[in-house]
Amino acid sequence: MRFAVMASGRGSNFQALIDAHARGELPGAELVLLIVNKRDAQAVARAKAAGIPWAFIDSEAMPRAEFDRRALAVLRDCGADAVVLAGFMRLLTPEFIAAFRYCILNIHPALLPNFPGAHAHRDALAAGVSESGCSAHLVDEGVDTGPIILQQPVEVLPNDTEESLAARILPHEHRLLAEAVRLLAAGRLEVDGGIVRILPEK
């Protein structure tokens, strides 16, 4: 299965996929393209170092629908079967999602459905919860509302800041995202009524 990655920033989750692939942990998955929407995205340097083709589409220079049309054209050109959102800070249009129905993966730094959106750590701390974590999920038309694949709880400590909580959750994001890619590539994810079933290995 040919995976394209979309990122906006430092690309640490993208790097986790590169590393997992290099270790042979993603059988049946090939990383074929990186798309960034920010010119200064550090993810580009990671793609160059790994020899992965990349494309820049300026999300500030066009409406959301036009960005998605251009991204879809690039994805079709590279023959992508699936898309991974690795710190991609932009909502996708229903047309884009329909083109890759249940083949778009995202990693979110909270235990969904709790604390969706761009400020999950801040929201978790403000709510005073004793536990947060991360969720790997399929993307639908909502904001972090798609079917959940995997989750990992992480304790919230009394003296946690957004930065310290994020730092403890991040390694779990890396692991869960790679595992979600592996499962999708192996054809082991089945969606039934908005619920993901992980099928046994064949």
Residue 202: per-residue pLDDT: 80
CA 111/CA 152 separation, integer angstroms:
8
For residue 14, is it within any domain? yes
Domain span including residue 44: 2-107+136-151+172-198
- CATH code of 59's domain: 3.40.50.170
- Provide the domain count of the chain: 1
> pLDDT above 90 covers what percent of the chain?
99
For residue 157, is it within any domain? no
Q: Is the pLDDT of residue 63 over 90?
A: yes
Of 108, 121, 172, 174, the catalytic one is 108
Active site residue 174: no
87-140 confidence digits (pLDDT tens): 999 999 999 999 999 999 999 999 999 999 999 999 999 999 999 999 999 999
**Residues shown for the chain:** 202
CA 136/CA 20 separation, integer angstroms:
16
Residue 85: per-residue pLDDT: 97
33-57 confidence digits (pLDDT tens): 999 999 999 999 999 999 999 999 9
Residue 189: per-residue pLDDT: 98
